Structure 1
C-alpha cells in the first residue's frame, strides 16, 4: 500500500536478510488502475516465483485475475 493505492511490489532477500534488488523498497509487479489484492506467491522450482493477484476495477465493476 503506497501513495493511497493498493499495488504489488516484490523484493528478493538473500539468506542473511539483505535486499538484492533496486530500488530497495521493491520492484513494481503491478500498479494498474484499480485495487490489487488477494496476492499469493509460490516458488516456481527454478529459483523464481509465481505471483497471482486479483485486480478490482471500480470503473468496470468487475474483477480480473492475473499471474
Structure 2
C-alpha cells in the first residue's frame, strides 16, 4: 500500500502533465504565447504536487510499507 494520499498526488500530477502537453501543443499550433504562460503556471503547480508526492514516498524509507 502507498503512503496515505501519495497515489492521489500522482494521479493529480498525471492530469497536470496532460494539461501541460495540451497547452504546449496549442501554443505550437497557434503561436499563442499565452498558452506558454498558462503551461508555466501549471508546471509550477505540478512541481508542488510532485514535491509533496516525493515527500510521501520518502516516508517509506523511514517507516516501510504497511
Q: Normalising by structure 1, report the TM-score.
A: 0.26
Structure with more of its chain in helix, by fraction: 2
Structure with more of its chain in strand, by fraction: 1
State the structure with more CA Rg.
2
Which has the bigger relative contact order, CA under 8 A and spacing at least 6?
A: 2
